[in-house]
Chain A
Amino acid sequence: MPLSLAPTADDSRTNAAFEELMWALSRPGVIRTLPASGLASIAESLLDRECSFCVLDDLDIQQAVARTGARAVSQGNADYIFSKIDTTEKVVALSGMRLGTLAYPDDAATLFAPARLGAGQELRLTGPGIKTSLTITVDRVAPTFWEMRQRAIRYPLGFDVYLVDDDRVIGIPRSTTVEVL
């Protein structure tokens, strides 16, 4: 039987998006380029009917993520959260995110947040995936977010965050220590 060995355009795009997310998380703070811009390309690569999600205040993304078949739930129950984190109110709204349990630390939320990379607040990252330390700059992230993150994370409990700027993405897993400079 002849087999078609070529991936479809969908296959290639979702595979490439995942690969970028994988390297983004493996090397926290290093900017990777997604095959398409925006949060929707991430959603189609990872989410399906087995997942739950929560989108705070963005109808376009809400519809794009819902198209994957994932269930919309409240943010305290969601596996994947898509939300801006540019104001303190939004950060406070996120403080109920799932952090996992000691037996199942993977049962925690993942946050995808729009941000601007390469300008604004300086952060120093250390931890797995970073050789010594790495200094990055991000904008459109409320300073209170980093305080909230530090309070929430009791490693291995915590949440993982990806900051997405158009088609550029960085990953900050819970294992990374973030120092606001």
Chain B
Amino acid sequence: MLKDKEELLHQARLTANKMRKNILLMTHRAKGGHPGGCLSATDLLAVLYKCFMRIDPQKPNWPGRDYFFLSKGHSVPALYAILIEMGFLSEGEVEDFREMEGRLPAYPSCEDTPGIDMASGSLGQGLSVANGAALAAKLNGTDQRAYVLLGDGELHEGQIWEAAMTAAHYKLNNVCAIVDYNKLQLDGSVEEVKSLGDLKAKWESFNWHVLEIDGHDYEQIYQAFVEAEQYRKGPSVLIAHTVKGKGVSFMEGEAGWHCAAPTDEELTKALKELSRVC
């Protein structure tokens, strides 16, 4: 079992490296997108998809699937990148990001893209959607799980806290929220724009099981997903401390990379850095 885990995490690391390259290729080619918040969430998505999600690329709408909702829709290149690695999309489709043709619009569209169950782009809605899918699974008596990735700035949205109450009230132990806590949003640092205060205490006071982790530490990510699944009393949230732009030295911790495409030169430099890692 342990060996399996090590092998899985090794695969997840390789996957994350490929994802990072594709995220940069997509945003570079499209001359747009949000690479910073994609790179901060990459390791979380790689572990979730490679180790936990029960899905079938041959049957994206398989009724027994686990659900993943990207509530922070602007990070969709990271989602496309993992869907390429999982076989839902093909490698060549990175060229279609934000293009009129193809299946990779600027924000998630469930109509266009296999493996995506819900559109997003307007922030604050994904946790409610996850609750709905999780309630349906409960009603059906299945053990399907609903995962949702939230941005830290997104937590300003009131609907998140409406949904947090709903999940706790209905004791949705099949809901797992992940906060990509990279501390930066469009206008600057989250602390300066509107502080989240004691985020752990906030979720705990809403009766959530809170797991605070380093969102780039594969052991911690893996363990947190296991513990979230094992916790039976209600919903779990992973507060994942991350670094915006993680993996590309000149992008790390820079709010400017929330919404900016790399130039030719920056792309070359970034890809070179990533090639040294794997």
Tell me if chain B binds chain A.
Answer: no
A residues bordering B, Cβ < 8 Å?
Answer: none
